[in-house]
Structure 1
Amino acid sequence: MSWKNTKQNSFADSLVVEHKSLSELDDVHNIINWNEIEQTLSNLYSSVRGAPSYPPLMMFKILILQAWYGLSDEALEKQIARDLMFRRFIDLSLSESVPDHSSIWHFRQLLNTEKLLEPLLEQINTHLEQNSIIVSLGSINIIDATVIEAKQCRKRKGKNGNNTQDKEAGYNVKTAADGKKKTTYGFKMHANTDEDGFVKKMTYTPGNVHDSKEFDKLLDISKSKTCGQVFADSAYANKNNNEKLGKENNKILHRAYRNKPLTKEQKQENKQRSSIRYIVERTFGLLKLHHGLGKARYLGLERNKARAQLIAISHNLKTGMNIFKRMRNLRDCCIQ
């Protein structure tokens, strides 16, 4: 299947008056090698029959915009049609038609089916590392999980009398800061972030899966003998994790047990570790505040996992773009 040529400028494009608001997202192109991303996506459309389709790189950029601005598929279609900055970012000429919401939905499903979102997150992180935005040498791991309420979280009867709750979600019971237990029916996003809040790796599970179950997947200890220092709350504190990490890398909060309270030294260490561990909680807060992660948009685990992965990718791109701007401003000041 061939791809549409959406980049060729038309007479209408030449009439657009340049304005700084149109170039707000241009710095993304300075930190990411889109040619390599395009190669990763190049085999998505393998059929030689059918009408030309929209380029997969353009469709991927559209999903990035969706995650950045928290838009539904229908709202995203409308925004691309009327927003010059959106068209500029995805290289879509004014003379070209806009992908409809069903095309956007199908492409997101295709990325998930082909399991490309995790490799894309790793690839983008590699590009950020190559541009000295992500620091890998001596990087730490800050691990935690956050609860995401299911789209249909309450027990209600449907037309056929069956429960309409999302069958792939689960109940999570958590003790809040005020000591009261809070029950949420939904999912969990488990993440490993660095000290700058970049999402290094993430997994997605039903809400009833214990945080510690995803510990090894987030660290990939099996692939590397040294993973660096690991900061996490006391839910991850157990004998197995202590042995895996060793004394030097283990920065998990100490846990008090019955008849074995924390010592003064352990309390002090917990305080120091918490001052670093909060970064992952801040990242979750940003994802929920700006990207709507706190509420699932779809039914089923896989669709919501794909959405969470796209949100993580977009968060890393936005964070990387902001750091790049600060680096450039600092460089310009030094030159002056």
Structure 2
Amino acid sequence: MDIMNYGLREKYDQLKRFGDRLSDMKTVIEWERIRPLLNDLYINNTEKGGRSNYDPILMVKILFLQSIYGIVDESIEKEIHNRLDFMNFLDYPESVPDARTIWLFRERLSNNHKDKKIWKEIWKQFKEKGITVKKGTIQDATFIESDPGHGKHRKGDGTIPIYLDQNPVKEPSESDHNEEKTSKREAKTARKIEIEQKKKAREEERKNAKTRRSKDGTWTVKNKRSHFGYKLHTIQDSDNDMILNYATTTASVHDSQIDLSIPGIVNYKDKGYFGVEGRGIDAAMDKAARGHKLPVESIRRNLRITRKRSRGERPYSVIKGIFHGGHVFVTTVPRVRVKNMFMCLGHNMICVIRMKNKGIIA
């Protein structure tokens, strides 16, 4: 330990008296058990030498910090140097990777689906603490907004053309009326064709864009509100709020198309999942057919399910309210999936700390 790190640790000890959530999160899991999953991410570990890689555990922790504090790649390096709690969480690294290095590591993580392997390993550790599903599960989904971006549109030079009418005004004849109707129909048809062509051009531009804010995001409408971006689908324990599994899709994918249920365990769902069979024991709310009211038995059943599902929004209130994860700046589904995994992990860590403080687990 050099004199600089010694001074930082001394200063952090003074700061810790005021409380540090990250210090508690640091010890919730054994980070070193993730290392074997990440060793094959680098391909330059040979005898040829070269610049040494950053510690993969350090990189994973940085991605975790980004996700739970809503910090973009360009700002995280500065934030690490500025905050003692960040430095302590990262074990006072000698050097901090720049934005490009962090971006490349996230790409490797997403392209090799390492986020799923990390999730499984961490849940293995949670189970070793005695955390298991006992009563049932709740499945739901929430929008993760993104910036749609704008294509380049051709603009005029700003001048307004002036036309001089050289012909005197005359009363319109019947033939003039017919010609006017025909021209209106032709203009309307031409306008439809133009709109369709522009729509196809925008779609082609979206597919081929390299700098578009969100290349994979899609539009959808819910409750008369438009949303662009992605969806986070989760299934949680109905008793302790722990997120058991997650999935990431574009915003236009319907909730019912994703099944995260566990065989043999009750899965409470809202009306959007009505009529869709899953692997678990179905407990979706009944939905009335058009023009028909729900019978009293179904209404009472829905009320019972609603009470069970009342905890379903808690993870999203943490992810969006505390982690500020309701809006992302990454541009593809795999990248959003990695960020969602770390946000779900952060929520689970909060749940574990709460259960530990209550004496539910050791």
Cα distance in 2 for partners of 1:236, 1:167 equals: 28
Corresponding residue SS for 1:200? strand
Corresponding residue SS for 2:308? helix
Is 1:79–2:79 an aligned residue pair? yes
Larger radius of gyration: 2
Q: Specify which of 37, 49, 56 is matched with residue 40 of structure 1.
A: 37
Deviation digits for residues 46-69 of structure 1 (CA, Å, limit 9, x no counterpart)? 322421111101111111111121
Match of 1:202, as an amino acid? Answer: Y
Q: Specify which of 202, 208, 221 is matched with residue 173 of structure 1.
A: 221
Is 1:282–2:314 an aligned residue pair? yes
Q: Specify which of 286, 298, 312 is matched with residue 254 of structure 1.
A: 286
Q: Specify which of 246, 252, 260 is matched with residue 208 of structure 1.
A: 252
- Root-mean-square deviation (CA), in Å? 2.5
Match of 1:237, as an amino acid? Answer: F
Q: Specify which of 218, 235, 244 is matched with residue 192 of structure 1.
A: 235
Cα distance in 2 for partners of 1:301, 1:185 equals: 13
Match of 2:350 in 1: 318
Match of 1:5 in 2: none
Deviation digits for residues 190-236 of structure 1 (CA, Å, limit 9, x no counterpart)? 11111222221111111111111112xx12x5xxxx34010001111
Match of 1:173, as an amino acid? Answer: V
Displacement, 1:159? 6.5
Is 1:11–2:11 an aligned residue pair? no
Residue 113 to residue 103, structure 1, CA distance change in 2 (3 Å): same
Cα distance in 1 for partners of 2:152, 2:31 equals: 46
Is 1:145–2:141 an aligned residue pair? yes
Match of 1:118 in 2: 116
- Aligned residue-pair number: 299
Q: Mind listing any 5+ residue stretches in structure 2 that lack a counterpart?
A: 155-201, 207-211
Q: Mind listing any 5+ residue stretches in structure 1 that lack a counterpart?
A: 1-8, 176-180, 332-336
Cα distance in 2 for partners of 1:102, 1:159 equals: 31
Residue 259 to residue 159, structure 1, CA distance change in 2 (3 Å): closer
Cα distance in 2 for partners of 1:61, 1:165 equals: 26
Match of 2:152, as an amino acid? Answer: G
Contact 2:70–2:325 (Cα < 8 Å) also in 1: no
**Following superposition, which runs of at least 4 residues in structure 1 exceed 4 angstroms of deviation?**
21-24, 159-165
Corresponding residue SS for 2:65? helix
Higher relative contact order (Cα pairs below 8 Å, separated by 6+ residues): 2
Cα distance in 1 for partners of 2:153, 2:107 equals: 28
Q: Specify which of 323, 328, 332 is matched with residue 291 of structure 1.
A: 323
Cα distance in 1 for partners of 2:264, 2:73 equals: 39
Deviation digits for residues 156-213 of structure 1 (CA, Å, limit 9, x no counterpart)? 33278856674422222212xxxxx222222111111112222211111111111111
Match of 1:6 in 2: none
Contact 1:152–1:299 (Cα < 8 Å) also in 2: no
Displacement, 1:77? 0.7
Contact 2:213–2:331 (Cα < 8 Å) also in 1: no
Q: Specify which of 269, 274, 286 is matched with residue 237 of structure 1.
A: 274
Residue 35 to residue 165, structure 1, CA distance change in 2 (3 Å): closer
Cα distance in 2 for partners of 1:98, 1:62 equals: 9
Match of 2:241, as an amino acid? Answer: G
Cα distance in 2 for partners of 1:85, 1:57 equals: 17
Give identity over the alignment, percent.
Answer: 26
Displacement, 1:273? 0.9
